[in-house]
Structure 1
Amino acid sequence: MKKILPLFFVFISIQTFSQIYIGANSPLYVKNEVLYVNQNIDLATNSNLYLRNNSQLVQGTTGVSNNSGTGIVSVYQEGTSDNFEYNYWCSPVGNPIASTGNTPFGISLLNRPTTSTAVVPATILPLTNYDGSASPLAIASYWIYKLTNANNYSQWVQVGGATTIAAGEGFTMKGTSGTDTSDPEGTGILNNPGTGAQRYDFRGKPNDGNITVAVGAGNAATLTGNPYPSALHLNAFLLDPSNAACTGVAYFWEQDKTVNSHYLSAYRGGYGTYSPVALGSTGLYVAATFNSYNSNGSLNTTGTSSGLIIERKYSPIGQGFLINGAANGSVTFKNSHRAFYKEGTGLSQFAKLTKDKALYTPEEKNTPVSHFKINTIINNQFTRQLALAFIPEATDGIDVGIDALNMDQSLPSDISFWLENSNYVIQGVNFELSKKIPLTVKATAGTTLKFYIPEIVNFDSSQNIYLYDELDSSYHDIKNGTYQVVIAPGVYSDRFKITFTNQTLGINEEIKSQFLIVQDNINEVLKASNPNNIAFESFVLFDILGKAVLNKSDLGVEQNYNFSTSGLSSGIYIATFLTSDNEKITQKIIISNSGKK
């Protein structure tokens, strides 16, 4: 039965209705609660539904939206960027026109609150004005862009002030400069305290029901987000079997807020990565690596990791994010993905928490995913963070909603997991003590790498974690220390591995110790004594950067081996003998030209 609300100001706490009709000039004010409507909402002309103090609207419609009327829902959200940085958004409302169903959005639907119900519409600045302001609220339309099925930077589409952003489409928007000390709700939260936390009042027809967004094969990127005036259970959306056309991973833009410039070449930012893993999981989030960009959108240099710890299981109202396509098709947001979960409660943050929101819903008790993170400091310039998760049902291949692609494929020096010919920053595996997980490293110049474990979650605290270096068959405890190494330019797909045991090779240690490798600097000869007649396949001498400078094969069985080191520069080298059983004996040597006759 349709609920008809009388013509006076109505305040409600938590309420459930089958349908709601809000008549003209009869505002409905919801404070710090959820309004659940099982079917549709009919908003008559000049009617208003106010969602205040973290209130949310949840609907139970299955299929497409049947919301109607030209009245409006009003809901607040605060950004986290000033006039120089972007937030990624997705509107919870559309244009309040007479047609039934969801309608397009434009920034003309944004307003500055002056009281809990009154607003002043935002001024939409022309494309020639790049700087938004807080008071009066003015939005720079130049920075409003959207992205659909894109593989390169040039595919961003400028929207400006047009009302053409479909429900479920995300958009970029820069924040504002200045301050606005108005406190329209009387909660102590200002419209803009001067930190970039600009409050916007979204006013329009509430989005509802199935909302379909196109995606494209080959990891094509689409900017989308939470399209509802309620929290979105992001895990439910990403892991919905009907959304198999996406990879099941969400990417969140993070930007260095100390860079006050509109020039693309000055930007420093990157994408944080969220894998949901399972419906009830808290998921895995890997922080962005901040990079700078050239004017054409290509990578310029690399910067420090953002280091933000951000909760993503529940996307708050207005939150935008990228998804990648696994196939040509579409994904669908559904009312069944919606939830009443208040922002800041512990599993939901808009970009990052910048304000204190009281009266939270009790935090869920979830068992975190068993994992640890691997940090690699590259040339003391930036940190690449990876996450290795241990999930019983995970395979060693790509698992939807678990393994997450590296969005920074063009970095000149980087490290990642290598899965099915692509680089990944999150990998899930079934734990086995004997398992070795390879890391792929690339470098365009001589590069210094420093590996360590910054975080271990829900993983056996007594379990050792090593980085294995294939070059000299060495194991390094990166759980309790670091491993620093210098590598030469190139791509190393099988040199470095994460292991859980410090394995001793099969050759008896006493026999191995009797195999002697010495450098005769006077005669410029490397000598090896083989008293136990071990059969060898090859010998390789590496310099300190990992470059092979001497290579001999088909050695067979000899009592003694001699290799000329004439012409090699003075320095430290690594001598590696490979047995016929594919085991290595390695030793560091020092070549010095000063000892030459």
Structure 2
Amino acid sequence: MKLNYINIAFLLIGIATQAQLFVSPNSYVFADNQILFVTQDVELNAATSNLYLRNGSQLMQGTAGAGSNKGLGDLSVYQEGTVNNYLYNYWCSPVGNTLTATVVNNPFGISQLKEVTGLTTASNPILLPFGSYDGLASPLSIATRWIYTFTTSNTYAQWNYIGGANTIPAGSGFTMKGTTAGNQRYDFRGKPNDGNITSAVSIGNFTLVGNPYPSAIDLNLFILDPANAALIDGRILFWEQVNVASHFIAAYQGGYGTYTTAGYTAAPFFNNDSSGNQTVPTGGTGIAFTGRRFSPIGQGFMVKGKANGTVTMKNTFRLFQKEDATSQFAKGNFDKDGNEYYPEVLNIAGIDYTQIKKGYAPQLKINAMFNNGGVRPTTLAFRDDFTDGADYSADAKMSSSQTADFYYVVENEEYLANALKFDIDKRIAIGLKCTSETNFKIKVVDILYGFDANQDVYIYDKETGVYTDIKNGMFEMTLPTGNNRSRFEITFKQGTLSTNNNIANNFSIFQNDVSGNLIIKNPNNIDLKSFNVYDIAGKSILVKNELGTNAQFEFSSTSLSKGIYVVKLLTVSNQEITKKVAVNNKK
């Protein structure tokens, strides 16, 4: 069906009024696969005045400042959840209650989520008492036990129970578990939200907000709005969860994926204790990459405050963007190559989206695994306008930390997404930390949005001088307890071993397992300042200084355990030669 666009310059349904779109008593407007654009306000005058948005239709409004919709009638719009009765979706209602006809973005309550019974008909839900755990698809029964908001808080205990009350402020996100049907369709009915809608944030705390309109919004516009940028840290967090068929908090497995204007970083999944505190990682992750820029009707998400104040949703963030075949909580993947441009997108801000690519900044997805268990997904994104420092809305700090973790060191802090300008000679500081001895495995798992697939990627160990290819291979190392934030770097080429490209050809370094000796042949009698042997974790095992110019050196290796070691030579002219040597000591 062809999508139509209705621009209402002045539409009267029934009697004359000052509203631009007025629906009189016992009347309705039905939009089927339509973009309904109203420059000013909407009045659904009486309880029998209705506006139906069907088949992907959305209501766009262009007023600036405070919302001005009024009336006792309902806008009706569908949205589907993606979870069963054990799992949470994060929501934000596009409508408020109609208890008053006055001009205000009224609070919302889940009694406004109706069961669809026909094209325009719906029935009221059954609101189950707090002691009931499971929702039902039909008759639609919602478990009020799981309805919470989260405002300027930082611990699990600070979730605010709402239940069936009509007290969820416009713009505030809320949690709700699904029903036995899984992808349950809900009919949101109420006064359409419009205009500026504010939510409180505070320093260092999270707030669950969301898209408060009966249309999609561009999250980039929300993040980059100067007033909002002064208050939040530029990340948007999306909850993802594993189906474990249990209501016990200790059984929950999930985590937060991170969206910035540079792209999306998948969620690492964690277990929880009985108080809701994050414990050990599960080894699973959320969606690897996804299109989150256009937030659809009903979507809730977290923001983190960096100052005290109120962030604002505005009509200028609104646009028309239909969803993929899947619902808003599991957006489909965009073009991995990042070469496709958006088609024309109707929007309030007047942006020409045909000049914008669907993908994000060219990037590498790099995952770390710890003791073959926990996983940390990370993102390295590259664009010429990014800097090596912290770029608001592009770089992203870690929102959760594991007992073992991998991160980028940006302005001496820990980041899971690092956006910077690409340079073949660039060295990117990374951190590896653990509270007990841990085996780390790190690898490039995906190349997206136009990053050069032929580009080499290495982890460089500054202590041993070893480069490890993490695009075609894997970095693996077992490290003792500690936080190594200056030892390792990501590079895009292997460094020259010395100032003389041929210096390494002057030496032969090998292990003689029969005699139990490490042997260095120095036929050109080059003067050596030092000789070092490191285990694979970088611990110094053997050091010899002022070796001199002998043609051959032998060092006993009988005390070394079987394994791989790194031998480093340093000449008096500060030229380095590094080689890996396998020790077996077969006698």
Task: Give the structure-2-normalised TM-score.
Answer: 0.86
Q: Once the 2 structures are TM-superposed, how far is the Cα of residue 350 of structure 1 from its aligned partner?
A: 0.7
Q: Is the 8 A contact 1:377 1:384 kept in 2?
A: yes
Measured against aligned partners, the alpha-carbon deviations of 1:353-393 in whole angstroms (never above 9, x if no partner) come to 59xxxxx9878654232222223343333443222111111
1:93 aligns with 2:95: yes
1:372 aligns with 2:364: yes
- Which residue of 118, 123, 127 corresponds with 1:120? 123
List runs of 5+ in structure 2 lacking aligned partners. Answer: 1-8, 333-341, 346-352
Distance in 2, matches of 1:56 and 1:42, equals 16
SS of residue paired to 1:76: strand
Q: Is the 8 A contact 1:49 1:72 kept in 2?
A: yes
- Which residue of 295, 300, 309 corresponds with 2:274? 295
1:586 aligns with 2:573: no
Q: Tell me which residue corresponds to 1:203.
A: 189
Distance in 1, matches of 2:569 and 2:252, equals 48
Q: Tell me which residue corresponds to 2:221.
A: 236
Distance in 2, matches of 1:580 and 1:208, equals 73
Distance in 2, matches of 1:584 and 1:18, equals 79
Q: Is the 8 A contact 1:305 1:382 kept in 2?
A: no
Q: Is the 8 A contact 2:464 2:538 kept in 1?
A: no
Give the partner amino acid of 2:168: I
Matches within 5 A, 1:399-438: 399-409=391-401, 411-438=402-429
Distance in 2, matches of 1:134 and 1:287, equals 30
Matches within 5 A, 1:505-584: 505-515=497-507, 517=509, 532-534=525-527, 536=529, 540-550=532-542, 555-556=545-546, 558-559=548-549, 568-577=560-569, 584=576
Distance in 2, matches of 1:395 and 1:254, equals 30
- Which residue of 305, 314, 331 corresponds with 2:285? 305
Distance in 2, matches of 1:517 and 1:526, equals 7
Q: Say if 1:349 and 1:138 are closer, same or farther in 2 by CA, change over 3 A.
A: closer
Bigger CA drift: 43-52 or 80-89?
A: 43-52
Q: Is the 8 A contact 1:415 1:441 kept in 2?
A: yes
Q: Say if 1:210 and 1:539 are closer, same or farther in 2 by CA, change over 3 A.
A: farther
Q: Is the 8 A contact 1:529 1:559 kept in 2?
A: no
Give the partner amino acid of 2:240: E
Q: Is the 8 A contact 2:81 2:184 kept in 1?
A: yes
Distance in 2, matches of 1:233 and 1:203, equals 23
Bigger CA drift: 494-503 or 518-527?
A: 518-527
Measured against aligned partners, the alpha-carbon deviations of 1:212-245 in whole angstroms (never above 9, x if no partner) come to 1122223x21111101011111111111122111
Q: Is the 8 A contact 1:310 1:349 kept in 2?
A: no
1:498 aligns with 2:490: yes
Matches within 5 A, 1:104-115: 104-115=107-118
- The percent identity for this pair of structures is 43
Bigger CA drift: 67-76 or 146-155?
A: 146-155
Measured against aligned partners, the alpha-carbon deviations of 1:187-214 in whole angstroms (never above 9, x if no partner) come to xxxxxxx4x1111111111111001112
Q: Is the 8 A contact 1:375 1:454 kept in 2?
A: no
Q: Tell me which residue corresponds to 1:146.
A: 149
Distance in 2, matches of 1:490 and 1:349, equals 43
Distance in 1, matches of 2:215 and 2:502, equals 68
Q: Once the 2 structures are TM-superposed, how far is the Cα of residue 448 of structure 1 from its aligned partner?
A: 3.8
Q: How many residues align?
A: 550
Q: Tell me which residue corresponds to 2:6.
A: none
Q: Tell me which residue corresponds to 2:65.
A: 63
Q: Tell me which residue corresponds to 1:159.
A: 162
Distance in 2, matches of 1:388 and 1:582, equals 33
Measured against aligned partners, the alpha-carbon deviations of 1:546-588 in whole angstroms (never above 9, x if no partner) come to 3334457xx3563367877675544433233456776643333
Distance in 1, matches of 2:370 and 2:477, equals 10
- Which residue of 439, 458, 470 corresponds with 1:447? 439
SS of residue paired to 1:154: helix
Q: Tell me which residue corresponds to 1:335.
A: 315
Measured against aligned partners, the alpha-carbon deviations of 1:498-517 in whole angstroms (never above 9, x if no partner) come to 22222212243543343455
Measured against aligned partners, the alpha-carbon deviations of 1:493-546 in whole angstroms (never above 9, x if no partner) come to 13332222222122435433434556677997766566655464x654332333
List runs of 5+ in structure 1 lacking aligned partners. Answer: 8-16, 178-193, 278-283, 355-359
1:38 aligns with 2:24: no
Q: Once the 2 structures are TM-superposed, how far is the Cα of residue 150 of structure 1 from its aligned partner?
A: 2.1
Q: Is the 8 A contact 2:116 2:186 kept in 1?
A: yes
Distance in 2, matches of 1:533 and 1:556, equals 12
Q: Tell me which residue corresponds to 1:175.
A: 178
Give the partner amino acid of 2:330: K
Q: Tell me which residue corresponds to 2:335.
A: none
Give the partner amino acid of 1:351: F
Distance in 1, matches of 2:220 and 2:189, equals 27
Q: Once the 2 structures are TM-superposed, how far is the Cα of residue 264 of structure 1 from its aligned partner?
A: 1.7
Q: Tell me which residue corresponds to 1:222.
A: 207
SS of residue paired to 1:227: coil
